[in-house]
Amino acid sequence: TVRHGFPYQPSALAFDPVQKILAIGTQTGALRLFGRPGVECYCQHDSGAAVIQLQFLINEGALVSALADDTLHLWNLRQKRPAILHSLKFNRERITFCHLPFQSKWLYVGTERGNIHIVNVESFTLSGYVIMWNKAIELSSKSHPGPIVHISDNPMDEGKLLIGFESGTVVLWDLKSKKADYRYTHDEAIHSVAWHHEGKQFICSHSDGTLTIWNVKSPTKPFQTITPHGKQLKDGKKPEPCKPILKVEYKTTRAGEPFIILSGGLSYDTVGRRPCLTVMHGKSTAVLEMDYSIVDFLTLCETPYPNDFQEPYAVVVLLEKDLVLIDLAQNGYPIFENPYPLTIHESPVTCCEYFADCPVDLIPALYSVGARQKRQGYSKKEWPISGGNWGLITQSYPEIIITGHADGSIKFWDASAITLQVLYKLKTAKVFEKSRNKDDRPNTDIVDEDPYAIQIISWCPESRMLCIAGVSAHVIIYRFSKQEVTTEVIPMLEVRLLYEINDVESPDGEQVPPLPTPGTGSNPQSIVPQSHPSTSSSSSDGLRDNVPCLKVKNSPLKQSPGYQIELVIQLVWVSGEPPQQITSLAVNSAYGLVVFGNCNGIAMVDYLQKTVLLNLGTIELYGSNDPYRREPQSPRKTRQPSGAGLCDISEGTVVPEDRCKSPTSGSGSPNNSDDDQKMNNFIEKVKIKSRKFSKMVTNDIAKMSRKLSLPTELKPDLDVKDNSFSRSRSSSVTSIDKDSREAISALHFCETFTRKADTSPSPCLWVGTTLGTVLVIVLNLPPGGEQRLLQPVIVSPSGTILRLKGAILRMAFLDTTGSLVPPAHEPWREHNVPEDKDEKDKSKKRRPVSVSPSSSQEISENQYAVICSEKQAKVISLPSQNCIYKQNITETSFVLRGDIVSLSNSICLACFCANGHIMTFSLPSLRPLLDVYYLPLTNMRIARTFCFTNNGQALYLVSPTEIQRLTYSQETCENLQEMLGELFTPVETPEAPNRGFFKGLFGGGAQSLDREELFGESASGKASRSLAQHIPGPGGIEGVKGAASGVVGELARARLALDERGQKLGELEEKTAAMLYSADSFSKHAHEMMLKYKDKKWYQF
């Protein structure tokens, strides 16, 4: 549908001063058009060749693009989706520079060989008029002048063309007489040329950092030479050479001195200095530093006429990774506040989530707190790029995109109605101490850089609770508040999450503190006491132990309105081994719980009481019901999952899948005595086990995972998904999976039936693993109000185990009508406002959205669990646990992302596979609805960021700087044309400047030129057919595709058909006329020859 963000690898820039539309071309052949805020458009050249130059047909609603594959394209901007009308492919020459004079239909095209060809932009055909390089330069010159780097006509005389060659030669060419009037020669190479509006002077920028100003009628030497950044030597010698000035612009004002604006030209001794734009105005010189390299810049002027005072008011600077507009009218040259969503990549995006149909009060709430974060010092003027018109808003539901970044920041974006606007930015790293030097950060070995990078985001739009997992194995829980608070002590927990190895005996009987018994509570600051034995082993063995990767600040933290820290949880090092990265995360505001897992195990935390409820290795979750063979594969008794078991289960050769099994069928409700006994045994077993571990032998995957770095290009971290990719491709025992572990890959809080014999749903947690197992954990929650803060949450196993093929990706629940049963949530309320006790108790009671067990839910009403894995999907009836529907999604590939979403008043499963297919299935029947090839998985960026949301929407990060949104909804596709903005609006062209009485009398005004007379076929003949090939574009048909159906659409189609018929008839007429002309010419030549030889004898021939 639409693309947001900064154009990746920009290469060209153009501006229409009448329509006020900005165009940016990229090295990948993309074209981005920007009008007023909210009016944006993305187009793509099919060849993918780099855009080297863009030229607007000013106020005509058209644009010419020149590509690195020597092709010119004419774009029609008068339709909502611009399309190519004509293309012209040069066969024998390389295009280096193009120039289209204002209100002209003849485009000058300069080439690498130094020639200039002329193209009619209406028909996109070549004129027979050619300016050859050897005619332009001095006849005595022995060397080639180099490629064309500049073409422009004299502002006061359209018949004079200024041609700049790379070597340093500039030629003023008379178009009528077809010869050079003047030649200007300089020793240094030329990068750009610009005219003074009176046409009597021009300025050149050179490779030695100098500017030369030339009088048109004095070609022998420059009128003035300036080195803007050169050190002036006392002896009168030449200043030291500087870096090349890549571009210069010369703009005049009525009221004062002209502006000379240039990029580059800095002194060579300014090592490490940032790229600069220099603005010279009279005697003042301002050097404006930029954050990135300057690709191009344009000066925005009040008039489109080159022969009038330009009156510059702003400069558009296209940087490598940013777009900056500088206000020339204000002192200090402040920049304009950029209203476009071009800062997605401010720090590299590491993950994103997409939420459609959010609560209506959410966007205003986020906007109000985000508005306070805005920087000061911007220009007070309106954004000058103001062209186009907004489309009709046909979608009424709010949409929010959340992006997580490498620097630990999180951005909330308003994505409603195909627009994008930043709402609020949260910096998660500010809770941690910044490491000043390498010695000061011994614990961040888990990553080379970006230790705060966001990996997973779990957000509840209704309660506004936010939970993030970072790359340094840290989890932060945030609550939304409109009040500013100062937190004296940041609540913090440290969790020692281990991979259980049953056969390793502890030589000295030392024990790690066991899982806290429910009801006993835990140290709010850390579940690991300071006197833990591992602290001493850390010093004696030299192994780092029991320390987190990051250090939380111990000073008071001022928290602005917005998201404020509720709790920080960190996994700690174990016997010299850094904690494994978190692979799954879920938060539930109604229960006050957060749960997360990695390849070692799972931990559950009560963030209201700040206690750890569950801390188990993945194997321990099974208890005695472990269905997998887990054999030690080395004499060290390091018990890890065997490769054979992994591969067999992954490929589905061992597990019978027709009916999902539960090894234990619990009886009664989760509160009966049998279940209490089972829970006590479960906890006792964990207590008895010794947890003294030696340093484990890690495999390559683990090493790479720990050394994960997230630079701009988002290096692929070999995480759980990569391991599962290996499993799906290999069934060899000696494969990489021999050493891999069973990780937690999916977590889902819900109220459902946990056992076969349950008569009513109860709160529980469903856990999915990378081996395709789903386990159910029962949650026994205390009553709401004060009791919730005093009584413990009791966690117990249900014994239910379900199995699928491939790693579990997503779980959801449907009721008997097929409607989605959302997780329970607490409605948002302001926590920082003191309330009456009664009100406080009332508001603290859990008010879940899903139906509570004590309400009208009948015993006969069951639910359906929908489980999606990398390979298949299943719908399981609850409480019977019978598999009623099953769908093998893919055999040869694997699912990267699966989401259960609403679409057209129904629920479906949407999947994106690694082979590039987007598939949707109906629920609960899992009947295939859609299977379309969309794009191949070319990099891990797509895999990490692709996500679906409600109403048939999806997105992914298409480049390091851009988000691509797409839709698979028919309704959205039909409305899209209306929602898109208009790029072209009818605007009257400003009046041309008056010549004045004396200029008219003495001929001092601008001289016009009849280019048709010069370049037309009758005057210059036809161009060589082999020089360039004309390719008609699909632009006309595209306009009809966007037309509304019905009478208007039919009329448009009929009109187009008539136009095409007329065009064909016109072409036929032209061909007939050409043939008649050719026949007439042949007849004339034959007659002349007959007259010449009529009276000669045969021997005179």
Q: Which helix (H) or strand (E) holds 1065?
A: helix 1047-1093
Q: Is residue 627 part of a domain?
A: yes
Based on the number of CB atoms within 10 Å of its own CB, is 345 exposed (0-12), middle (13-18) or buried (19 or more)?
Answer: buried
pLDDT of residue 741 exceeding 90, the answer is no
**More confident of the two residues 682 and 331:** 331
pLDDT of residue 439 exceeding 80, the answer is no
Q: What is the mean pLDDT of residues 350-361?
A: 92
* Nearest partner of 606 among 401, 836, 779, 380, judged by Cα: 779
CA distance 643 to 199: 79
Q: Are 615 and 606 in contact (CB under 8 A)?
A: no
Give the pLDDT score at 111: 95
Q: Is residue 985 part of a domain?
A: no
pLDDT of residue 184 exceeding 70, the answer is yes
CA distance 313 to 397: 39
pLDDT of residue 664 exceeding 60, the answer is no
Give the pLDDT score at 655: 33
Which residues is 390 bridged to in the sheet? none
Specify which of 439-448, 725-734, 946-955, 1024-1033 reaches the highest per-range mean pLDDT: 946-955
User: Long-range contact list for 1093-1097, CB < 8 A, 24+ apart?
Assistant: none
Give the pLDDT score at 722: 37
User: What does the DSSP 8-state code read for residue 764?
Assistant: E
Give the pLDDT score at 376: 80
Structure tokens at 580: 């494994």
Give the pLDDT score at 1035: 64
CA dihedral of 602, 608, 610, 616, whole degrees rounded to 10: -20
**More confident of the two residues 815 and 439:** 815
Q: Would you tell me how many other CB atoms lie within 10 Å of the CB of residue 865? A: 26
Give the pLDDT score at 1064: 62
SS3 state at 889: coil
**More confident of the two residues 28 and 739:** 28
User: Residues 271-330: pLDDT tens digits?
Assistant: 778 899 999 998 899 999 999 999 999 999 999 999 999 999 999 999 999 999 999 999
Give the pLDDT score at 727: 36
Structure tokens at 90: 């040069």
Q: What is the mean pLDDT of residues 742-760?
A: 91
Structure tokens at 489: 């002590």
Based on the number of CB atoms within 10 Å of its own CB, is 905 exposed (0-12), middle (13-18) or buried (19 or more)?
Answer: exposed
**More confident of the two residues 663 and 259:** 259
Structure tokens at 257: 């001195």
Q: How far is CA 523 from the centre of its chain?
A: 42
Q: Is residue 75 part of a domain?
A: no
Show the domain range for 772.
Answer: 399-833+860-960
Lowest pLDDT segment from 301-305, 402-406, 660-664 = 660-664
Mapping DSSP onto H, E and C, the string for 155-171 reads CCEEEEEEEEECCCEEE
Give the pLDDT score at 973: 81
pLDDT of residue 1025 exceeding 80, the answer is no
Give the pLDDT score at 966: 92
pLDDT of residue 756 exceeding 70, the answer is yes
Give the pLDDT score at 327: 96
Q: Is residue 469 part of a domain?
A: yes
Give the pLDDT score at 1029: 85
| CA dist 829 → 368, 463, 483, 998 (Å) | 16, 8, 12, 76
Give the pLDDT score at 757: 84
Lowest pLDDT segment from 373-382, 661-670, 1013-1022 = 661-670
CA distance 679 to 963: 47
**More confident of the two residues 1019 and 678:** 1019
pLDDT of residue 1097 exceeding 80, the answer is no
Q: Are 585 and 469 in contact (CB under 8 A)?
A: yes
* Nearest partner of 572 among 593, 540, 608, 598, judged by Cα: 598
Q: What is the mean pLDDT of residues 186-203?
A: 94
Residues near 162 by beta carbon (within 8 Å), at least 6 away in sequence: 150, 151, 152, 153, 154, 170, 171, 172, 173, 193, 195, 202
Share the mean pLDDT of the chain: 79
Q: Is residue 474 part of a domain?
A: yes
**More confident of the two residues 660 and 153:** 153
Q: What is the CATH number of the domain that holds 627?
A: 2.130.10.10
Lowest pLDDT segment from 880-894, 909-923, 1052-1066 = 1052-1066
Q: Are 378 and 962 in contact (CB under 8 A)?
A: no
Q: What is the mean pLDDT of residues 1014-1028?
A: 74
Lowest pLDDT segment from 745-759, 954-968, 986-1000 = 986-1000
| CA dist 772 → 596, 632, 738, 755, 882 (Å) | 17, 21, 17, 19, 17
CA distance 802 to 769: 11
Q: What is the model's pTM?
A: 0.80
User: What does the DSSP 8-state code read for residue 242?
Assistant: B
User: Residues 561-573: pLDDT tens digits?
Assistant: 999 999 999 999 9
Domain count within the chain? 1
**More confident of the two residues 1006 and 496:** 496
pLDDT of residue 108 exceeding 60, the answer is yes
User: Residues 825-855: pLDDT tens digits?
Assistant: 888 888 877 655 444 444 444 444 444 433 3
Give the pLDDT score at 649: 27
Band the pLDDT of 357: cuts 50, 70, 90. confident
Give the pLDDT score at 1006: 60
CA distance 270 to 1005: 45
Q: What is the mean pLDDT of residues 390-412?
A: 89
Q: What is the mean pLDDT of residues 741-748?
A: 92
- Phi/psi-derived region of residue 128, left when phi > 0, alpha when psi is between -120 and 50, beta in every other case: alpha
pLDDT of residue 647 exceeding 50, the answer is no
DSSP annotation string for 66-130: EETTSEEEEEE-SSSS-EEEEEEEESS--EEEEE--TT-SEEEEEETTS-EEEEETTTTEEEEEE
pLDDT of residue 713 exceeding 70, the answer is no
Give the pLDDT score at 874: 96
pLDDT of residue 1013 exceeding 70, the answer is yes
**More confident of the two residues 450 and 719:** 450
Give the pLDDT score at 1016: 75
**More confident of the two residues 436 and 1051:** 436
Q: What is the mean pLDDT of residues 501-525?
A: 37
pLDDT of residue 550 exceeding 80, the answer is yes
Band the pLDDT of 1055: cuts 50, 70, 90. low
Q: Is residue 980 part of a domain?
A: no
What is the pairing mode between strands 562-571 and 492-495?
A: parallel
